Amino acid sequence: MVRARPLPRRLPARRGAAHRGHRADRRLPRVDAGVSTKGATPAAPAAAPPRAEIGAVALGGALGSAGRWLVSLALPGAAGGLAWATLVVNLSGALAMGLLVAWLETRRSTHPLVRPFATVGLLGGWTTYSTLVLDVRTTLADGRAGEALLYVALTLALGVGAAVAGLSLGHRWFGGDDAHAGSVVEEDEL
C-alpha cells in the first residue's frame, strides 16, 4: 500500500487568525502521477532522537575521528603503497566492535548512552568507509588494479575476522556466550 506524505500548503488565513497565533496551514497528501492515494493514511513524522543520544554520538564521533586522523599522521601512506592507516583503523574498529558487543552482552545494565557513544559515535568516527573507497579509486586510477583488489579483499576478510575474533575474545574475557553473539546491538543501531 502506498502511503501519502504530508505536504504543507498555505491556505488563505481566516479573518483574525494571524493575530490570535493560529496557523492557516493544512496538510495535504502528496500525489504522485499514476499513484492512487485512496485508502492511504499520511505517514507519521519520525521521532527525533533524544538530545542526550545525539550529544553522545557527536562526542564519540569527534573522538573517533580525531583518533583516526592521528593514526593517519603516524602511518602516512607512501606514494604507490598500501593505505596502511585506513586498513589499521578499519580492522582495529572491527575488533573493537566485537569486543564491545561481547562486553555489552555480559552486562546486566549499562548507562543508556554507552551504546550510542561507543558504537555509532566512537567506532563510527574511528572507522572509515569513505576513505577506503577513495583509496581504492586512487589505486585504480594509478593503474594498480591488483593492489586495489587485494586491499578490498584484505579489508573485508580481515575485518570480518577481526570482528569475530573480538566477539570470541570478549566472550572469554567477559564471560559471555558465543551463541548469543550480536543480540545486544540491533542492525539499525550500527
Binding residues for Na(+): 124, 127
Q: Which residues are annotated as a binding site?
A: 124, 127
Under 8 Å between Cβ of 77 and 84: yes
CB contact at 8 A, 61 and 125:
yes
Tell me the C-alpha to C-alpha distance, in Å, between residue 107 and each of 54, 63, 104, 118, 122: 23, 24, 5, 15, 19
User: Which are the contacts of 115, defined by CB distance < 8 A and separation ≥ 6?
Assistant: 104, 184, 185, 189
